[in-house]
Structure 1
C-alpha cells in the first residue's frame, strides 16, 4: 500500500534526543533504585504494609531500566533494531509494565495513605501484610492484561533497516489509536482520578484537623508533591502527545498533512524521554520513609549533570542519514 509522507517532520530528532536521556536515566535509575531498595529493606518494619507497594515499584523500575541499553544501541544505529521481533515486543512490554505498574502502585500507596489519615480507626488492625501482597499481585495481573494486546500488534518494520515501533506500524495505526484511547482511560485516567480524590480529601483533613501528627502531615505533603511531580512531568504529557501523535499518523495515512505534524511529533518524542524519567524519580517515594537518602540522591544528581553533558556531546556525532526514514518511527 502507498503511505503518505508528510515532509518537514524532523524524524532525526528522536536519535538526537532519546539516547542521552536513556543513558542518564539508566545510570541514575539503577543507582537511585539500588539506594532506595537498600534503604527500604533496612527500614522494612516501620511501614511494612506500604513498603510492599514501594518494593514492587522498585522492581518495575529495574525491569525497565535493564532494557534501556538495547534501546540506546537501537537509536545509536539510526533506528536499526538488530535484536529480533520477539525481543522488540518484550522491550516494549517491559516499558508498559513499568509505566502502568508504577501508576498502579502509586495509586495503592495513595489509597493506603488516605485510609491511614482520614479513617485511622476503621482500618487499624484490618490492613495486613497479606492484603498488601494480594493487592500487589492483582495490580501486576491487571497491568499485564491491559498491556498484553499491545504484543499482538506489529512492532518491527523493514528488511535491511528494521525498526522497533513503540506503538505499531502505519498499517494498523487506526486500530491502535482506539486501543490506546481505551488503555489511557482505564490505566491512566481512572487511577489519576482516584489519586486526586484521595489527596483532595487528605488536604481538607490536614487543614481542618489540628490533632493530626506533624510527622504524618509532612510525609503526606511530601508524597503529594512527588506524585504531582511524576504526573505533571512524566505521565500526563506522555499520554496526551502519544494519542495526538497517533491521530496525526491516522490523518497522514489518509493523505492529510498539517503544519502541526512536526510539532506533535517532536512533543511526543520529548514526552517519551520525560516518561522514562519516572524510573529515576520513583525512588523519591522512598523519601517519606528515610530522609538520609535525600543527601545521597543530591550527590548523585550533581554527578549526573556532567554525565548528561558528555553523553549529549557524544551522541551529537550520530546523525540519521537524510531520506532513510519513510514512516513515523515510534
Structure 2
C-alpha cells in the first residue's frame, strides 16, 4: 500500500477501508471553492466599487464593511491555488511558501470575518439599545480603531499557525497539509485556543448583543417599521453565519484532530470524520456569500448607491413602461 499522510499507517485495516474522503477532496472541494471564487470575486469587487465610488458619507459601519470586503478579496487570491491542488488529486507543485500562504489566508479570512461581524454587532447594539450614544459610535474614528484592532488581534492569534503548516513528500508526491492534518500533538491545544478565543468568545458577545437588541425591538408600537424589519433580518443573517458556517467547522476540526490522536480509532470512523471535516471547510467560508446581503442591511445607503451606480432605476422604469405598453396593446 502506498503512503498516506492523513492516517496512521500502523492501522492494518486501512487496506479494506473506504476512500470516501479522497473522493470528496477531489470532486467536492474544487467545485465548492471554484463557485465561491466566482461569486466572491464578482460580488466583493462590486461591493468595493459601490463603497469607494458612491457611498457618502462614510460612517463607522461603512469602514467595517469595507474591511470585511477586503478580507474576503484577500482570501480570493488563495482559492485558485487550492482548486489547482485538489484537481491534481493532492499534488502540490508550488512550494512550501505558497502552501503556507494558502492555508494561512483561509484561517485569516475565517477569524477576521468572525471579528468584523462581532464588531458590527457591538456597534449595532449600541446604536439600538443605547441610542443616546449612537451619534458617537457612528463616527469614522471608531470604525478605524475597531478595524485596526481586528487586524492586530487576528494576526496575533494566528501568528503561530504559519509555521505549523508543512508539505510532505511521499512516493514522489508532495502534499500541502491542511491544519488538522499536521502534527496532531502540536495543533491539538492550539486548535482549542483558536476555537475558544476566535469563535466561542465572539459567539457569546454576538448572542448577548442580539438578545438585548431583540428585547429592545419588542418595545413600542411600531413593530413593522422598515428599520426594525431590517434589524431583524440582519440578526438572522449574522446568527446564520455563526451557526451554519462557523460551528460545523470548529466541531468537526476537533473531531478530526482527536481521531488522529487515537490510533485505535476504527478506520471507517476515521475516514468518515475526515470526509465530514473536508465538507465543513468550504462551508466555513460560505460567509463570503452571506456577507453580500449584509451590505444592503448595514444602514449606510449601500442599496441606494448600488442602484445609482448601476442605473438599476432606469432599467426598472424601462421595464415598467414596456409592461404598460404591452397591456395597452
TM-score bracket, shorter-length normalisation: 0.7 to 0.9
Structure 2 counterparts to residues 153-232 of structure 1, below 5 A: 153-158=164-169, 160-167=172-179, 169-170=181-182, 172-210=183-221, 214-232=225-243
Q: Which residue of 1 aligns with 2:36?
A: 25
SS at match of 2:173: coil
Structure 2 portions without partners, runs of 5+: 308-329
Structure 1 portions without partners, runs of 5+: 295-330
Q: Which residue of 1 aligns with 2:289?
A: 280
* Kept after mapping to 1: 8 A contact 2:92/2:175: yes
* Per-residue deviation, 1:127: 4.6
SS at match of 2:136: coil
* Kept after mapping to 2: 8 A contact 1:14/1:269: yes
Deviates more, 1:221-230 or 1:100-109: 221-230
SS at match of 1:162: strand
Q: Does 1:44 align with 2:55?
A: yes
Q: Which residue of 2 aligns with 1:125?
A: 136
Compute the TM-score of the two structures, normalised by the length of structure 2.
Answer: 0.82
Whole-Å separation in 2 of the counterparts to 1:237 and 1:192: 14
Q: Which residue of 2 aligns with 1:271?
A: 280
* Per-residue deviation, 1:48: 1.8
Q: Does 1:257 align with 2:257?
A: no
* Kept after mapping to 1: 8 A contact 2:165/2:178: no
* Per-residue deviation, 1:207: 1.0
* Kept after mapping to 1: 8 A contact 2:237/2:294: yes
Change (3 A) 1:126 1:56: closer
Change (3 A) 1:168 1:234: closer
Whole-Å separation in 1 of the counterparts to 2:266 and 2:219: 54
Structure 2 counterparts to residues 71-150 of structure 1, below 5 A: 71-125=82-136, 127-150=138-161
Deviations 1:269-316 (A, max 9, x none): 11112112222221221121434669xxxxxxxxxxxxxxxxxxxxxx
Change (3 A) 1:212 1:128: farther
Change (3 A) 1:185 1:79: same
Q: Does 1:3 align with 2:9?
A: yes
Query: With CA pairs under 8 Å and 6+ residues apart, which has the higher RCO, 1 or 2?
Result: 1
Deviates more, 1:7-16 or 1:230-239: 7-16
Change (3 A) 1:124 1:154: closer
Whole-Å separation in 2 of the counterparts to 1:168 and 1:256: 16
Compute the TM-score of the two structures, normalised by the length of structure 1.
Answer: 0.82
